[in-house]
A and B are shown apart, each in its own frame.
Chain A
Amino acid sequence: MAQANEIEFKKISLRPVEQTWVLDADLSLQLTPALEQLVNKGVVLHFVTEFQLTQSRWYWFDAKTIEVQRVSKISYQALTNQYRVTLGSFSLSAANLKQALAAVRTIEDWAVIDASAININQSYQAAVRIRLDSNQLAKPFQVNAINSKSWNLQSEWQRFEFNPKQLINGVNP
């Protein structure tokens, strides 16, 4: 059985925009039937996207240079039969769940790294993951989430090499 609730990152990249580095990513995300039912009944789903930038150290644990996260919410508006997606302070309406999920799925121009926080000559390990924040669910669902996989939606950490200098050279040859 193909794991339907497995989240995969299809495309992921960091690019410099002015004084920051922004993250673009595209991932395959599908709700389990249980979660779909939940959201269609009006329960708000909180998705947390986390980004980490670590610098490996041979003598100790990796140093965490940057750790940021953002929350996206999907909610169903029963009266207008619309879905609303909230990304931080920005919100938009979607006519159906697919569109709403697409908005969560696509990460675009997420400013994750402040250029001053990193050393351009060094190479870093970047990691991204997205998960359903089950702690934001009502308690009965949390109880379900403890022992049922269909209530847990979580991607593995997607790790990739981040080499600022190469990227800058590559973008602006």
Chain B
Amino acid sequence: MKLLAKPFLVGLIILLALTLLVLLAVASANTSFFDKYFAWLFAANVLVGLLFVIVIIILVITITVRWRQKYFGARLIAKLAMFFALVGVLPGAILYGVSLQFVSRSIESWFDVKVEGALEAGLNLGRTTIEISKADLLSKGRELVSTIQTDSRKSGEGGLTILLSRQRQQMDLKELAIFASGPKTIASASVDLNSFVTQMAASEKLAQARSLGQLVEIDEPSQEIEKSTYRIKLLIPLQQAALNTGGGFNFKNQSEDRYLLLVKDMPESLSNNALSVQEAYIEYQEKALGRSGLRKMYIGTLTIALFLALFIAMTLALLLGRQLAYPLIMLLKGTKAVAEGDLSPRPEINTGDELGLLTRQFNVMTKQLLDARNSLEDSKAFSESILSNLTAGVYVLDVNHRLVLSNAGAERIFEMSLSQSVGQTLESIPKLMAFDKAVKEAFREHEISRNDPSGHWQKQIILGEESKDHQHEHGITLLVRGTKLPNNLLIVVFDDISEVITAQRSIAWGEVARRLAHEIKNPLTPIQLSAERIQQKLNSQLDPSQQEFLTRSTANIITQVEAMKQMVNDLGILLKPQKQTYKTYQSII
């Protein structure tokens, strides 16, 4: 993967490899420029091919390992890479297979038995031509030898020269000479000034000629010495005896060996044709011999091209796969993060295509989600603050009467914190056992009666009743209202109405007192009036001593009645009902 981090480097390597391959391909096509470095070029290409194979193997192993390790996104990249590689490699492989077949077949097809036979025949034709010329020259040479031997008696050295000159013209020879070892030319006739006598007079050649009776040499045409045709050189030793018997000759040394040299050039056109046949033959043979190498060369080039294609395909697949997979992986990570609650925006990818759009849309979505969540949280906080500011207690219970939610009011009423008890049943909390029982009963009753399914029940529950105390300092009276919410949750709202009850009681008591006072007050005025009338009626009939007693007694009654009246009036003022507190409670509920 490190390689992938440097696409530039990869590009450079590919470029280099391509250059090498192109060079190889060009070099294969018979240009002389690369002749010297061909082997190096080939070796370098093979090396590069091997390198590619290694790189491909490493990449494949890396992907496999990541796949196994469940590396995030590895599967996607591997799949994409596989697709791309398949797309790139499959056609390449097909092309490779076809080319391979083609190369193998076509190279074989160049080498045809017929063509080879024809070339061989052409070569043989040339050989035969040369052989015939050689034989012809030999027979003529022998003829000439006998002519010389017969003529030598008649004419001298000068006659010999004339004879040679004539014969040379007749036989169309390049040179005709008689020489003795030394070399010493005795008589010669030649077209130009060049003589082959010195060349042919080497001792081993003369010895060979003596032992075999003749010596034939054929010179190849060659550009270096501007010789354009085959040249046949024939060396025949002249018979010593024949020469020695000739009295006409004046030889300095009678025991001297003499040789006849005939040099003939083949006709140029014939020579050229033969040469071109030879050239073609050699070329054909060379190619036939090198066909295995040629096949290796072509197959090697093809194989390296395949490797290069494979490498490029793989690299591109990985690069493109990564590019394609990157936004998807980003999205995947994004969804993971969203699932975990992280709604922060992801970096957007500006690919300008649908994938980029997708990431942008994803961000838009998460932003909306974030907004929605925020507003939800706000409203939740709002309702929570309302709930906590409510004096009434609120419990939300699930079907099994487990506590789901409680508010501050409930905590205040029961004088205990319930934040740790969320998820527990109310039964399990000692303080709430009686409450739970009552609530359950109320729900059951409500369920049974069910005359109003959407409605709620309301009940007054007195807790801590056991301690029969009129002041109910320990017991509390709750006004409980329960409703079943549509999603199977139970909501219980309750209020501590102990104070309200107390107030109601005091009002009732006041009423009783007021009535009592009224009842007491009612007879007071008649009592007072009766006492005053008694005093008025009896005052005149009584003696003064009794008069005084009466006056005192009635006065006493009146005073006491008056006092009682006052007392009752005062009580009446005191017992006026305090409606204020009750009203507030009512409004809250």
Given contacts A140-B297, A146-B39, contact A79 B285 (CB under 8 A): no
Encoded as 1 (CB less than 8 Å from any A CB) or 0, chain B from 279 to 291 comes to: 0011001111111
Interface residues of B in 14-42 (CB under 8 A from A): 27-28, 30, 35-36, 38-39, 42
Q: Contact residue range for chain A? A: 20 to 34
Given contacts A139-B297, A143-B300, A144-B292, contact A80 B39 (CB under 8 A): no
Are the C-beta atoms of A43 and B39 separated by less than 8 Å? no
Are the C-beta atoms of B274 and A140 separated by less than 8 Å? no
How far does the alpha carbon of A89 sit from the alpha carbon of B223 in the complex, in Å?
Answer: 12
Tell me which residues across on chain A come within 8 A of B220, comparing CB atoms. Answer: 77, 80, 82, 84, 93
The smallest beta-carbon distance between A147 and chain B, in angstroms, is 9
**B423 at interface by CB-CB < 8 Å:** no
Are the C-beta atoms of A79 and B274 separated by less than 8 Å? yes
Are the C-beta atoms of A139 and B278 separated by less than 8 Å? no
**A134 at interface by CB-CB < 8 Å:** yes
Tell me which residues across on chain B come within 8 A of A91, comparing CB atoms. Answer: 222, 224
Residue in A80, A81, A82, A141 whose Cβ sees the most chain B Cβ within 10 Å: A80
Tell me which residues across on chain A come within 8 A of B289, comparing CB atoms. Answer: 37-38, 41, 43, 141
Tell me which residues across on chain A come within 8 A of B431, comparing CB atoms. Answer: none
Tell me which residues across on chain B come within 8 A of A140, comparing CB atoms. Answer: 287, 290-294, 296-297
Tell me which residues across on chain A come within 8 A of B173, comparing CB atoms. Answer: none
**A33 at interface by CB-CB < 8 Å:** no
Encoded as 1 (CB less than 8 Å from any B CB) or 0, chain A from 63 to 76 comes to: 00000000000001
Are the C-beta atoms of A43 and B38 separated by less than 8 Å? no
**B52 at interface by CB-CB < 8 Å:** no
**B130 at interface by CB-CB < 8 Å:** yes
Are the C-beta atoms of A79 and B35 separated by less than 8 Å? no
How far does the alpha carbon of A142 sit from the alpha carbon of B27 in the complex, in Å?
Answer: 12
The smallest beta-carbon distance between B2 and chain A, in angstroms, is 33
Tell me which residues across on chain B come within 8 A of A84, comparing CB atoms. Answer: 220
Tell me which residues across on chain A come within 8 A of B219, comparing CB atoms. Answer: 93
The smallest beta-carbon distance between B275 and chain A, in angstroms, is 7
Residue in B27, B43, B286 whose Cβ sees the most chain A Cβ within 10 Å: B286
**A116 at interface by CB-CB < 8 Å:** no
Tell me which residues across on chain B come within 8 A of A89, comparing CB atoms. Answer: 224
How far does the alpha carbon of A141 sit from the alpha carbon of B286 in the complex, in Å?
Answer: 9
Contact of B290 among A82, A93, A134, A141 (CB under 8 A): A141
**A1 at interface by CB-CB < 8 Å:** no
How far does the alpha carbon of A76 sit from the alpha carbon of B36 in the complex, in Å?
Answer: 23
Encoded as 1 (CB less than 8 Å from any A CB) or 0, chain B from 544 to 563 comes to: 00000000000000000000
Tell me which residues across on chain B come within 8 A of A141, comparing CB atoms. Answer: 289-290, 293
CB-based nearest A residue for B129? A79
CB-based nearest A residue for B29? A139
How far does the alpha carbon of A50 sit from the alpha carbon of B458 in the complex, in Å?
Answer: 122
Tell me which residues across on chain B come within 8 A of A77, comparing CB atoms. Answer: 220, 278
Given contacts A42-B281, A42-B286, A139-B38, contact A80 B130 (CB under 8 A): yes
How far does the alpha carbon of A56 sit from the alpha carbon of B122 in the complex, in Å?
Answer: 58
Tell me which residues across on chain A come within 8 A of B166, comparing CB atoms. Answer: none
How far does the alpha carbon of A145 sit from the alpha carbon of B293 in the complex, in Å?
Answer: 9
Tell me which residues across on chain A come within 8 A of B296, comparing CB atoms. Answer: 140, 143-144
B side interface size, CB within 8 A: 39
How far does the alpha carbon of A93 sit from the alpha carbon of B199 in the complex, in Å?
Answer: 13
The smallest beta-carbon distance between B182 and chain A, in angstroms, is 23
Contact of B286 among A79, A136, A138 (CB under 8 A): A138
Interface residues of A in 92-149 (CB under 8 A from B): 93, 134-136, 138-146
Contact of B39 among A42, A76, A93, A134 (CB under 8 A): A134
Are the C-beta atoms of B297 and A41 separated by less than 8 Å? no
Are the C-beta atoms of A80 and B290 separated by less than 8 Å? no
Contact of A43 among B27, B30, B123, B286 (CB under 8 A): B286
Tell me which residues across on chain B come within 8 A of A37, comparing CB atoms. Answer: 289
Are the C-beta atoms of A138 and B290 separated by less than 8 Å? yes
**A171 at interface by CB-CB < 8 Å:** no
The smallest beta-carbon distance between B119 and chain A, in angstroms, is 10
**Contacts between chains A and B (CB distance < 8 A), count:** 96
CB-based nearest B residue for A80? B218
Tell me which residues across on chain A come within 8 A of B285, comparing CB atoms. Answer: 41-43
**A2 at interface by CB-CB < 8 Å:** no
CB-based nearest B residue for A89? B224
How far does the alpha carbon of A84 sit from the alpha carbon of B227 in the complex, in Å?
Answer: 15
The smallest beta-carbon distance between A121 and chain B, in angstroms, is 40
**B88 at interface by CB-CB < 8 Å:** no
How far does the alpha carbon of A136 sit from the alpha carbon of B291 in the complex, in Å?
Answer: 17
Encoded as 1 (CB less than 8 Å from any B CB) or 0, chain A from 12 to 37 comes to: 00000000000000000000000001
CB-based nearest A residue for B277? A79
**B127 at interface by CB-CB < 8 Å:** yes
Tell me which residues across on chain B come within 8 A of A145, comparing CB atoms. Answer: 39
Encoded as 1 (CB less than 8 Å from any A CB) or 0, chain B from 112 to 137 comes to: 00000000000100110010000000
Are the C-beta atoms of A135 and B222 separated by less than 8 Å? no
CB-based nearest B residue for A93? B220
How far does the alpha carbon of A82 sit from the alpha carbon of B217 in the complex, in Å?
Answer: 10
Contact of B42 among A38, A76, A80, A143 (CB under 8 A): A143
Tell me which residues across on chain B come within 8 A of A135, comparing CB atoms. Answer: 35-36, 38-39
Encoded as 1 (CB less than 8 Å from any B CB) or 0, chain A from 34 to 63 comes to: 000110011100000000000000000000
The smallest beta-carbon distance between B27 and chain A, in angstroms, is 7
**B230 at interface by CB-CB < 8 Å:** yes
Are the C-beta atoms of A81 and B127 separated by less than 8 Å? yes
Interface residues of B in 264-310 (CB under 8 A from A): 274-275, 277-278, 281-282, 285-294, 296-297, 300
CB-based nearest A residue for B279? A42
Tell me which residues across on chain A come within 8 A of B218, comparing CB atoms. Answer: 80, 82
Given contacts A41-B289, A140-B294, contact A78 B281 (CB under 8 A): yes
Are the C-beta atoms of B282 and A41 separated by less than 8 Å? yes
The smallest beta-carbon distance between B8 and chain A, in angstroms, is 33
CB-based nearest B residue for A142? B39
CB-based nearest B residue for A77? B220
CB-based nearest B residue for A147? B296
How far does the alpha carbon of A80 sit from the alpha carbon of B229 in the complex, in Å?
Answer: 13
Residue in B39, B42, B291 whose Cβ sees the most chain A Cβ within 10 Å: B39
CB-based nearest A residue for B217? A93
Binding site for A on B (CB under 8 A): 27-28, 30, 35-36, 38-39, 42-43, 123, 126-127, 130, 217-220, 222, 224, 230, 274-275, 277-278, 281-282, 285-294, 296-297, 300
Binding site for B on A (CB under 8 A): 37-38, 41-43, 76-82, 84, 89, 91, 93, 134-136, 138-146
For the complex of A and B, list the 10 residue pairs with the smallest distance between their C-beta atoms, beginning with the closest: A140-B293, A42-B282, A140-B290, A41-B285, A140-B294, A143-B293, A144-B293, A142-B39, A143-B297, A79-B126
A-B contact pairs, 17 of them (CB 8 A): A41-B282, A41-B285, A41-B288, A41-B289, A42-B281, A42-B282, A43-B282, A43-B285, A43-B289, A77-B220, A79-B126, A79-B127, A79-B130, A79-B277, A93-B219, A140-B287, A145-B39
